[in-house]
Amino acid sequence: MLALFRYPLNFFFKLFGKQAEHPHLPAKSFPTLAQQASPSPLILATTTEEYDQYVPQVVGTIPLELQGTLYRNGPGIFDRGGLRKRFVLEGDGLIQAYEFKQQQVTYKSRFVRTEKYIEESKADKFKYATWGSMAPGGKANNLMPGLNWKTSSGVSVWKKFGKLYAFDEMDLPTQLDPATLETLGSHNF
């Protein structure tokens, strides 16, 4: 009987950009961050650390003309509760700021405190589907793609008109304070 529904179900999943056969991977599928070379060729490196005003050692000289802040997004958290996300764009947003001033650079980073990040951090497990990984609970919990998704704001970061936004192309952007990287909330233009 189930074979009768296999084709329509797979069509339904493909229509919404999801595959029914993409559960999370065991976390041990890849080496931990500490076991990986730096920089990691796997990219899927989980970090849980945030930094405020870290001053790295610079080898060479930073040009005097190089002034301003470079913002980057990711990589963030790919592992929770013994499971691992499958795809580089599935990690929680980790905003990084490199501030260049007077031939010096300072670094800070902070996770984007989305609803997804807060709920999954408290539970210490994945609760929602992402680009290539289903939500826990199997096919029954993933029949309606989009209903069990929440933004991770983990793909890109843009500064516009003095405001900083983190995106993941799935939901509204999350606004951040450009100086502290504190999450201010979802933003609707």
Question: Comparing 46 with 103, which gets the higher pLDDT?
Answer: 103
Band of the pLDDT at 14, cuts 50, 70, 90? low
Residue-wise pLDDT tens digits, 111-142: 999 999 999 999 999 888 887 777 787 777 77
Cα–Cα distance list, 24 to 36, 82, 97, 181 (Å)? 21, 10, 30, 29
In degrees rounded to 5, what are phi and psi of residue 104? -125, 160
Distance of CA 151 to the CA centre of its chain: 9
Element (H, E) at 119: helix 115-123
Average pLDDT over residues 1-14: 46
Average pLDDT, the chain: 79
The residues near 111 (Cβ < 8 Å, ≥ 6 apart) are: 50, 76, 77, 92, 93, 94, 95, 117
Global pTM reads 0.75
Q: Over the stretch 28-57, which tens digit does the pLDDT of each residue have?
A: 655 555 565 554 445 556 677 899 989 988
Long-range CB pairs of 57-63, under 8 A, 24+ apart, other chains included: 58/104, 58/105, 61/103, 62/100, 62/103, 62/104, 62/105, 63/103
Question: What does DSSP assign to residue 131?
Answer: S
* Mean pLDDT within 162-172: 89
